[in-house]
Amino acid sequence: MSRIILHIDLNTFFVRCEEIKNPLLEGKPVAVGGVGRGGIVSTCSYKAREYGIHSGMPMFQAQMLCKNLIVIPCDFHNYELYSREFIHYVRTYTSLVEQTSVDECFADFTNVYYQYGNNNIDEFLKEFQIGLFNKTKLKCSIGVAPTKFLAKMGSDMKKPNGITIIRKKDIPSKIFPLPIKTFFGIGKKTYPILEEIGIKTIGDLYYGIKSQRDDVNGIIGSFSTSIISELEGNSSFKINTAPSDPKSIGTTSTFEENSDDSEFILSFMIQQTKSILKELHKAKKLTKTIQLTYKNAKFDEESCQFKVKQFSKTLMNPTNNDDTIIEAVRNLFKETYNGQLIRMSGVCFQNLTDAKDAKIQMTFDDFENDDSIDKTHDIIESLNREINKKMFFRASELKDEDLFKNGSK
């Protein structure tokens, strides 16, 4: 029995959430993202796309393309609520759901379709789309295939509100003619290189690898085997329902105004750090590597993007100690920030390990410090025993001023 794997992609999700809140926005050019010259387009409506606007574009450039563009700042709390409603609705059909981002997921509909389907997969999925809209007012496009890769490719083919079914036999006719840049997994830096050597379509890539072209394999390298598996319909269909185990935790934020004020930027990054520390503690993780990101305020015309620089520092031992991590961020900032005008900063904790599994090798200095603490503790306890009252404390044990008021003056 062939698997029925869906990739469900919410159409212009952030914009749609704003349209639900304000129906007067429907059918108008809308961009959601950073407000002002330093902003970036996160999502835009299909009407805005008619003007050449797209995600990742500087907001000032989008406003130049469309003079009557409606710009709305992101409301992530609201989007998260709608995302939960979306996933909850999908799970009313099947428990085999793998959420891959706030607005998309994979789902295995094999059993539910064969049990409740009406022998017409298009009608069955159209009912799913209508049900999602009636329940949440969200709209989606769906790709259906025997593998996750093909389902993902299918969901991009008919937007908005499309349903695309791809069977193994359909791969040469539906996938091979597509431009190479549409191949899920090939990045923006790789596809132009492939085009330069004549690989214009996905089919060109497939036959280039199969014929063992040296120039193609030189670019694709070790990924050639998995690409062939994907393009022959033999890649994974397994839905990962387990909660993801993060390998890194981070955040990036665009400033309201570009800045080269080192005190402001450092203060901003410390606040970012404190926010991520909450996530680190919640996930019960330790970090060993701190990474800082700076996005230059000067738009690079040649690459059509703002240049980003990243710097990292690896600590001696994994830690979740707030003071240690904040101090590491301060030091790394002082070492790497050179006074440039920037528009965005980011902080990321990498090389995460589970706190309960961490085994830290104590250095000689750590051992001496730890030994000193133990000796201090023994002396204090001995004094308290002599007077039969807890009168003496280490400063670190004083949690509030009341402790001083209760006889430890």
Active site residues: 104
Q: How far apart are CA 124 and CA 145, in angstroms?
A: 15
CB 341, CB 328: distance < 8 Å: no
DSSP collapsed to 3 states, the chain: CCCCEEEEEECCHHHHHHHHHCHHHCCCCEEEECCCCCCEEEEECHHHHCCCCCCCCEHHHHHHHCCCCEEECCCHHHHHHHHHHHHHHHHCCCCCEEEEECCEEEEECHHHHHHHCCCCHHHHHHHHHHHHHHHHCCCEEEEEECCHHHHHHHHCCCCCCCEEECCHHHHHHHHCCCEHHHCCCCCCCHHHHHHHCCCCEHHHHHHHHHCCCHHHHHHHHHHHHHHHHHHCCCCCCCCCCCCCCCCEEEEEEEEEEEECCHHHHHHHHHHHHHHHHHHHHHCCEEEEEEEEEEEEEEEECCCCEEEEEEEEEEEEEEECCHHHHHHHHHHHHHHHCCCCCEEEEEEEEECCEEHHHCCCCCCHHHHHHHHHHHHHHHHHHHHHHHHCCCCCCCHHHCCCCHHHHCCCC
The upper half-sphere exposure of residue 57, i.e. CA atoms within 13 Å in the direction of its Cβ, equals 20
The 140-145 sheet, strands edge to edge: 97-101, 104-108, 5-10, 140-145, 163-165
Q: Which residue has the tokens 């492939």?
A: 194
Structure tokens at 188: 């923006």
Q: How far apart are CA 220 and CA 230, in angstroms?
A: 14
Residues 6+ apart with CB under 8 A from 145: 5, 7, 151, 153, 154, 165, 166, 167, 233
